[in-house]
A = this chain, B = another copy of it.
Amino acid sequence: MTEEQHITSVYDRDLEAIQAKIMKMGGLVEAAILDAAQSLETRDEELAEKVRVGDRAIDDLEEMINEDAARLIALRAPTAGDLRIVLSVMKISSNLERIGDYAKNMAKRTTILSQMSPIHGSQTALRRMAREVNEMLKDALDSYIQRDAGKAQAVINRDADVDQMYNALFREFLTFMMEDPRNITACMHLHFIAKNTERMGDHVTSIAEQVVYLVTGGTPEEGRPKGDKTSTDAAYSPQM
């Protein structure tokens, strides 16, 4: 075995160890999304508490990944291509951490919402949206491990569905609030949850974009579709 091969294999082993942590982190975040959405729908405060407490483990993993990546760069002085992988690992872990934060925030709101009357099945719609984001995350992480740019691109395209679900919910919440002012507080919280779930989708998309960049060296096919039209769409003007 030559000296160079030896160095490469140590580097690969280190990198694999970091990627294993990414996968572990991904698993925890996926569970957090599903648990948070379930706790919201079934008003399960114990499950919500589990999500809140569990976020600590996700944060700790991000910190470990950052430290490992920095150590790897310092010790192994990776080449440009390898460096790109290490830097992408850091970005992906940062995205995962943010998704975990949103799940925690959803779980926090479960406690307040449990004290209010439910809003016409919105919790069920939110859980459906969370499931979609969860599926996308699973696929994005698979595409990362398999270095599959096609699969990653498919995830990016699906983000538009999540945005559409959000837009529909936004409209619904406005209607519920106008119909009965007693719905306002609950709808404000539910709307936050919807927006945060939509943002989770953005972070999943960002992970998929990292994969495309890693594999092809370029940015994804077309600009990321910006599906939240509530900030510009005329349909949300006061006439509605």
Contact A108 B238 (CB under 8 A): no
A79 touches which of B74, B181, B184 (Cβ 8 Å): B74
Chain B residue contacts of A188, Cβ below 8 A = 170, 174, 191
A189 to B112, CA, bound (A): 23
A177 touches which of B66, B177, B232, B240 (Cβ 8 Å): B177
> Contacts A231-B105, A236-B112; is A83 near B78 (CB within 8 Å)?
no
> Contacts A177-B177, A188-B174, A231-B105; is A237 near B70 (CB within 8 Å)?
no
Contact with B along A158-197 (1 / 0, CB 8 A): 0000000000001000100110011011101101100100
Interface residues on A, range: 35 or more
Enumerate chain A interface residues (CB-CB to B < 8 A).
66, 70, 73-74, 77-80, 83-84, 87, 90, 94, 105, 108-109, 111-112, 115-116, 170, 174, 177-178, 181-182, 184-186, 188-189, 191-192, 195, 231-232, 236-238, 240
